[in-house]
Structure 1
Amino acid sequence: MDRTAKADLVSTLNGVFNQSAVVVVAHYKGLTVADMQKLRSQMKQAGATVKVAKNSLAGIALDGTDVASIKPLLKGPTLLAYSGDPVAAAKVAVDFAKTNDKLVILGGAMGKTTLSPDGVKALASLPSLDELRAKIVGLVQAPATKIAQVVNAPAAKLARVFGAYATKDEAA
């Protein structure tokens, strides 16, 4: 890789680190190409990305970013998983690590907060942004549905009473 390609990679990574809500660092030693492709596709489906970069270049790109606290984790064969959603990258990485013991989560960062491996696992257990939005919409809609049921209930009761009187008159 020549000097200009390295400079481009560093600037690209710097932009990624500035825009990502969460960055997870993991060792991938022993993962097969098929496993890496599977991990990349799972990350892509969740709206996250996996990047393998030379540790020294990633360390340079980390300078001046909020997630610079992960720099000491960049030792050995590391991969970086990142996403704009604070939960997506962590969730996919933790789920993949459960089924494949060769992916070892070292830690990560969410903004200026440094995450230990347990912190990444705790973050992965949280609901995603889309799930939280769905819950909020459900909570907002629930009172409106209940109000509509209460408003319609007296009319339904009146209709049943009139129907009962009608069938009573027909029977007599």
Structure 2
Amino acid sequence: MPSKKNEVMLQEVLESLDNSNGLFVIDYRGLTVKEAQSLRRKLTDAQAHMKVYKNNIVKLALAEKDMPNLDHILAGTTACVFYEVDPVEAAKVIKLTSKELNKIEFKGGISDGQAIDADQALAIADLPSREELVARFAAAVAAPLAQFVRVLNGPAQGLVTALHAIEDQKNEQKAA
């Protein structure tokens, strides 16, 4: 019979899985309390949160939710980073913190309902953020429109330039 503490932990994991779009599993070995708090704050800003659970409890929760099996990466010192919206922002935070501290390592995770390995998690961190993609899309849509407006404006601008030239020419003739 499982202990009450483990049942509560299982419910927490199930709730985190329900409230997130996926998760990354990281090795956080060697992080100080202050570094872990800093990482948690950065993840919160990226709409993600990091929790440390027993690996077996996470495996049970994943099985209960019919999610991909992560037995091969849920071993040793692991923490789960649950992201609510955008996996890119959470992955970027983990990658940048990893570079700063040289203590965190991706082990894998689940993204779009599929199990991913550490290399795929790093590739997600290298993707542009949602805001960057929206800005790029807006620029791509706006560029042809701006060019179209310039083309429409061309004949009118040419007419104005020609009228100014005629006016300047007449002013020169009056002055002479």
TM-score by length of 1: 0.86
1:111 Cα deviation from its structure 2 partner: 2.9
Asked if the contact 2:68–2:114 (Cα under 8 Å) also holds between the matched residues in 1, the reply is no
Counterpart-to-counterpart distance in 2, 1:56 and 1:85: 26
SS of 1:80 mapped into structure 2: strand
- Aligned-pair RMSD on alpha carbons? 2.0
- Name the structure 1 match of 2:99: 98
- Name the structure 2 match of 1:36: 36
- Name the structure 1 match of 2:137: 136
Asked if the contact 1:23–1:67 (Cα under 8 Å) also holds between the matched residues in 2, the reply is no
Tell me: CA distance 1:66–1:167, structure 2 relative to 1, closer, same or farther (3 Å): farther
Asked if the contact 1:87–1:126 (Cα under 8 Å) also holds between the matched residues in 2, the reply is yes
1:18 Cα deviation from its structure 2 partner: 4.0
Q: How does 1:1-172 map to 2 (within 5 A)?
A: 3=4, 6-65=6-65, 67-83=67-83, 84-172=85-173
Asked if the contact 1:27–1:106 (Cα under 8 Å) also holds between the matched residues in 2, the reply is yes
Tell me: CA distance 1:8–1:152, structure 2 relative to 1, closer, same or farther (3 Å): farther
Q: Is there any run of 5+ residues in structure 1 with no aligned partner, and where?
A: none
Counterpart-to-counterpart distance in 2, 1:110 and 1:86: 8
Asked if the contact 1:42–1:92 (Cα under 8 Å) also holds between the matched residues in 2, the reply is yes
1:66 Cα deviation from its structure 2 partner: 5.5
Residues 19-76 of structure 1: CA deviation (Å, up to 9, x unaligned): 5333111111110111112211221222222112222322222123354322332222
Identity %: 30
Q: Is there any run of 5+ residues in structure 2 with no aligned partner, and where?
A: none
SS of 1:72 mapped into structure 2: coil
Counterpart-to-counterpart distance in 2, 1:137 and 1:171: 48
TM-score by length of 2: 0.85
Larger Rg: 2
SS of 1:13 mapped into structure 2: helix
Asked if the contact 1:43–1:92 (Cα under 8 Å) also holds between the matched residues in 2, the reply is yes
Asked if the contact 2:110–2:116 (Cα under 8 Å) also holds between the matched residues in 1, the reply is yes
Asked if the contact 1:22–1:89 (Cα under 8 Å) also holds between the matched residues in 2, the reply is no
Number of residue pairs the alignment of both structures matches: 170
Counterpart-to-counterpart distance in 1, 2:168 and 2:6: 87
Counterpart-to-counterpart distance in 2, 1:167 and 1:67: 78
1:8 Cα deviation from its structure 2 partner: 4.0
